[in-house]
Structure 1
Amino acid sequence: MKVRAALRLLLAALYALAGVLHLLRPRPFLGIMPGWVPLPEEVVMLTGVAELAGAAALAQSWSAPLRRAGAVGLALYAVGVFPANINHFALDMARSDGGGLGLAYHVPRMLLQPVLVWLALWTGGVTNWPFARRPS
């Protein structure tokens, strides 16, 4: 199996797992939701459904347009949930009890968010950057 296909299936599996967790165990996701988001319970449920749909579209091998649509959807999803990741970081850093996940968790998570956007697009066949050959 090629690296791109293997990473595509791995990414789809991780998004599927996250989607299931959003649906079955929403409490941790509700805890990091920014206060300005309306209907937080519904948003968590819808994000779980979006993750599952994107994962299914990305994982399938019979329709390249569907795979690309799933990749774009997951990339947009990763951008859309970034405010919750920032909120989670801020909440953890503001804790006076020393709890929370700390910088060793949050800094790599913040830095990896753009990588997740790119990985969805690359594994889904939306982009070949930075591996595309330049015309000579």
Structure 2
Amino acid sequence: MSRFFRSPKPLAGLLAAAGVTHLAKPRPYDAIVPRALPGSPRAWTNASAAVELALAAALLAPRTRPAAARAAALFFCAVFPANVKMAVDWRGRSTGERAIAFGRLPLQVPLVLWARAVAGEATAPSG
């Protein structure tokens, strides 16, 4: 696996950018919050942003990196239902929009593997 995908900085950058985007433009994220979740979609969007920003910060600190990377892998699994909802909701949209919505589904797998690689690198003995 490439050194890029074992480094915590790119993953932290991705999570930080996602967190900022959730706060700056929350409406698209509100729309994909599964209806089965209690409370308002905006609360879940804001909570997701807070988790993304916290994980990004924790990935940059060597002491918290292993736990943060494992938590990021779990987080990527936890948000998968939102991607499924988006794909279902966007079935009637243009071909390009459907491709985006359905393309997000398999994207979760490399994100989980990336976070696990960062966790493994963080816990690997040096030397």
TM-score, structure 1 as length reference: 0.77
Runs of 4 or more off by more than 3 Å in structure 1? 4-7
CA distance in 1, matches of 2:74, 2:42: 20
CA distance in 2, matches of 1:35, 1:43: 11
Q: Per-residue displacement from partner, 1:86-122 (whole Å, max 9, x unpaired)?
A: 0001111134xx377122x234321121211111111
User: Does 2:91 match 1:93?
Assistant: yes
CA distance in 2, matches of 1:10, 1:74: 13
Q: Which structure: greater helix fraction?
A: 2
Q: Per-residue displacement from partner, 1:23-81 (whole Å, max 9, x unpaired)?
A: 22211100111111112211111110000111111123x32xx1011111111111111
Larger radius of gyration: 1
Distance 1:55 1:19, change over 3 A: same
User: Does 2:63 match 1:68?
Assistant: no
The number of aligned residues is 121
User: Does 2:126 match 1:125?
Assistant: no
TM-score, structure 2 as length reference: 0.82
Distance 1:9 1:79, change over 3 A: same
CA distance in 2, matches of 1:127, 1:89: 34
CA distance in 1, matches of 2:122, 2:8: 13
User: Bigger relative contact order, structure 1 or 2, given CA contacts below 8 A and separation 6+?
Assistant: 2
Aligned 8 A contact 2:18 2:49 in 1: yes
Q: CA RMSD in A?
A: 2.4
Aligned 8 A contact 1:92 1:99 in 2: no
1:111 alignment partner AA: P
Q: Secondary structure at the match of 1:23?
A: helix
